[in-house]
Amino acid sequence: MDKRRASKRIFWHIELGRIKTTFPAKGETLTDRNCRREQPIKNTMENKITRATVKSFIKKNFDGLYINVKSDFDGMTDGLETRHGGFKKAESDDGEHCLGVKDAYFVGGKGEYFYEYEDDTMKGIRVSNCCGRFILAIKK
């Protein structure tokens, strides 16, 4: 395999890594001088909400944080029970799975889903897992 073909393969993999690359004209060898890189392609996963995002959101906004518990686990029925409490000011808690917020329960791992939440007056993060659903939000 000649040098140019090997270099193309390397840059092809970089392109898959979200960097768009242009190649030199036919007959030229591939060097850093004649290979121009353009701006990185926008990453669609850039705004993905993770557990780290939630931790940061809680830490930065705890003074103005509200929680709305939509459902929680009930051992009597062995399932989730709907709650209609609405938003209330978040209180501090030192529990193991609450990340410092009372009434929030994080299971960790793959069984937890985070979504962006926004309505007329509040914006934040909606959390769903096997132990309940709740919204952590701040006022706009």
**pLDDT 10s digits, 98-118:** 888 998 988 887 889 999 999
CA pair distance 99, 110, nearest whole angstrom: 17
pLDDT in tens, 37-76: 444 444 444 578 888 999 999 999 999 999 999 998 888 8
CA–CA distance from 40 to each of 12, 14, 18, 36, 47 (Å)? 14, 10, 6, 12, 16
Inter-residue contact 131 to 107 (CB < 8 Å):
yes
CB contact set of 56 (below 8 Å; sequence gap of 6+): none
Q: What tokens does 71 get?
A: 């459902």
The sign one gets for the Cα dihedral 74, 123, 58, 115 is positive
10 Å CB burial of residue 90 (0-12, 13-18, 19+) is buried
The reported pTM is 0.64
Contacts of 35 (CB under 8 A, 6+ apart): 11, 21, 22, 23, 24
Q: What is the pLDDT of residues 113-132, one digit of tens each?
A: 999 999 999 999 999 988 88
